[in-house]
Chains A and B, each alone.
Chain A
């Protein structure tokens, strides 16, 4: 069974600085997707970024980028120029490549952004 581990229950960062959230996963599959979701106090789950395992290039979305290390089964999220609105719970998630497969989530990292 696939598992996703986020070893940092809480992180904090100063506004305008950079922070990296860690995620590791365990799978025997070679093709899969990895995601970071953001959950602000409103509880809405918002997709931040997606990485396909077959792609060597790390995904980026504006201030958000990932460091995908397939051999190490590591998938970290880097937030640059942190903003107050980035404060939220961040979930790392794994999905098999099979269409419609469920997401397996880590337990989340609570990010605080200090002004």
Chain B
């Protein structure tokens, strides 16, 4: 939704390389999330943050790490990309009630 951007929007990488995806929000939302979307699975939570330097794991966190050093930025890192991490990644941010989503990043791991 408005105020949430993701970069890059598309990326092709090779197995074993590190990858960092960035989420930036301008609405000062406290909570931020990373989801992945795969066919037949809907969206699944990878990690989330409830404040600067406060993060926690979601249901599919293996192979991923996150960092949040500023309210507006939430980084998702694949330390050593694998083909199973080929997916569309969505960042979301929100307040106590509703989450709004960024445009998504399509990642292809060869």
Residues of A whose CB lies within 8 Å of any CB of B are 4, 33, 35, 37, 42-47, 50, 91, 95, 99-100, 102-103, 105-108
Contacts and interface: CB of A to CB of B under 8 A. Distances in A.
A44 B101 contact: yes
Where chain B touches its partner, the secondary structure class is: strand
26 contacts: A33-B97, A33-B98, A35-B98, A37-B101, A43-B88, A44-B104, A45-B43, A45-B92, A45-B104, A46-B1, A46-B101, A47-B1, A47-B98, A50-B97, A50-B98, A99-B95, A100-B94, A100-B96, A103-B33, A103-B35, A103-B45, A103-B92, A103-B99, A105-B42, A105-B44, A107-B42
Contact of B40 (A50, A91, A107): A107
B43 A105 contact: yes
A102 B45 contact: yes
Contacts of B99: 95, 103
Identify the 8 closest CB pairs spanning chains A and B, nearest first: A45-B101, A105-B42, A100-B31, A99-B96, A102-B45, A105-B43, A107-B42, A43-B104
Nearest to B47: A102
Nearest to B100: A47
Contacts of B50: 100
A65 B70 CA distance: 38
